[in-house]
Amino acid sequence: MSKCERIAIIDYGVGNLFSVSKAFAQIGREAFVTSDAREIMKSSRVVLPGVGAFKNGMEKLTDAGLVHVVKEVADSGKPLLGICLGAQLLLEGSEEFGITSGLGLIKGKVIEIPNQSRTEHNIRVPHIGWNNLIYSGGISTTKRTILDSIPEKSMTYFVHSFMMSPDDAKNRLADVDYHGINIPAVIKSKNVSGTQFHPEKSGDIGLEILRNFCEF
């Protein structure tokens, strides 16, 4: 039987909730969508999904009264997974549409994908589509993380214009190369992990990543 008995997917008004819930169902895990603080705290694992702008996400999370709940989950030692915007919210703040404070669970901020490369290479922003994961050395091993047994160069699906920038390279579990720009794809600190990509939209690799989330 899976170690992952009960997964709460936090509903704060900006998440891709159905796709995330369906992905857990595909791997035979029980996941439920909720905005109830008590139900979230009673869960064995918690997912913070999200799409859209950082500022709106933090406003929605605050209006729902869930900022302190997410912080309590992190402090409790329970595995917490942020997806896309949810991963960005784990950091201390963002430069998107002005300076906005984040949850501060991992030191660092969210910044725009550098525009100088955008000019030189005529690259597309937002970064949309499939890209290869690179294990470039911040954390020396992926064992017992959400990337356990996931081969380097595995492809995952991205949709974003701003990127995570942790202060400490040790918090970068994997990157992707986007026209010469190393974009953090997976961040981690203790029991808190975040994926800039959407595992629920990343095929079998994404499902394996969610399965790992249930095991470690």
d(CA 196, CA 187): 8
| Catalytic hit among 4, 96, 127, 198 | 198
Please, which residues bridge with residue 182 across strands? 177
Tracing tokens 């808190």 back to the chain, one arrives at 192
Give the largest CA-CA distance in the chain. 52
CA dist 152 and 75 (Å) reads 30
Tell whether the torsion through CA atoms of 115, 119, 121 and 127 is positive or negative: positive
Which one is catalytic: 84, 96, 127, 208? 84
The verdict on whether 198 is a catalytic residue reads: yes
> Is 127 annotated in the active site?
no
Instruction: Kindly name the residue from 4, 127, 160, 200 that is annotated as catalytic.
Output: 200
How would you classify residue 82: left for phi > 0, otherwise alpha for psi between -120 and 50, otherwise beta? beta
Q: Position of tokens 């509903």? A: 11
**Strand, helix or coil at 91?**
strand
The catalytic residues are 84, 198, 200
